[in-house]
């Protein structure tokens, strides 16, 4: 798989990451991602509780550097669409933003034909799908050839902790950008 955000966030072997939700009363919500091996913080995701802006998320590395700015598209066109659209932007080495992915989530209505969440990446026809149900901690991100690139799994005994298994050569920043949007869509720690 080609890196979506950066090659720096790809690993040559499968990794298990632990996600810990932050309550809204502590730092405004969001969640923290750590490596299962050494418990080192790899990513921090801040939602509108921290940012003060509804429909906006920021993914940062363990040192606090911004990696992805994700926001929900609004306006009249969005209101008339059968999908909610989220766009993810990364920062290049000069600090300017560039579009990375678009996530389409069907609005909950009787006109919605499909319940699939589709992620489009960059130029071309590269896409990913989310299958399963995120609130149950049982979903997968699947590439266009049908391969599972990441799987969200329940952490037994806790609702605020879960794990994500990421396949080799997969961009972890991209995976957690998608998970941040899922977290928001289902009204969890990143939403207002």
Quick: pLDDT tens for 73-104. 765 444 445 567 899 998 766 667 788 899 98
Q: What percent of the chain has pLDDT over 70?
A: 79
From first CA to last CA, the distance across the chain in angstroms is 34
Q: Where are the alpha helices (DSSP H) in the chain?
A: 48-51, 76-80, 172-185
Residue 113: what pLDDT?
45
Burial of residue 31 (number of CB atoms within 10 Å: 0-12, 13-18, 19+)? buried
Between the alpha carbon of residue 87 and those of residues 12, 27, 36, 57, 76, the distances in Å are: 28, 24, 29, 10, 17
Question: Which tens digits make up the pLDDT trace of 37-72?
Answer: 888 999 999 886 555 567 789 999 999 998 999 988
Radius of gyration, CA atoms only, the chain: 16
Residue 2: what pLDDT?
72
**In the predicted model, is pLDDT for residue 110 greater than 90?**
no
CATH class of 7-185: mainly beta
Strands 148-154 and 15-21: unpaired
């Amino acid at each position: 798989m080609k890196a979506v955000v950066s090659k720096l966030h790809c690993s040559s072997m499968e990794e298990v990451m632990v996600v810990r939700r932050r309550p809204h009363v502590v730092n405004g919500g969001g969640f923290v991602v750590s490596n299962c091996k050494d418990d080192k913080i790899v990513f921090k995701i801040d939602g509108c509780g921290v940012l003060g802006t509804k429909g906006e998320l920021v993914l940062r590395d363990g040192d606090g550097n911004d990696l992805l700015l994700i926001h929900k598209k609004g306006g009249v066109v969005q209101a008339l669409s059968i999908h909610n659209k989220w766009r993810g932007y990364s920062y290049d080495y000069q600090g300017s933003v560039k579009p990375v992915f678009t996530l389409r989530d069907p609005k909950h209505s009787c006109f919605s034909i499909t319940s699939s969440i589709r992620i489009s990446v960059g130029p071309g026809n590269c896409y990913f799908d989310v299958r399963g149900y995120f609130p149950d901690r049982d979903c997968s991100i699947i590439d266009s050839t049908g391969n599972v690139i990441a799987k969200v799994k329940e952490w037994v005994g806790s609702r605020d902790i879960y794990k994500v298994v990421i396949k080799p050569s997969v961009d972890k920043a991209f995976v957690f950008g998608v998970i941040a949007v899922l977290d928001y869509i289902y009204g969890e720690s990143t939403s207002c």
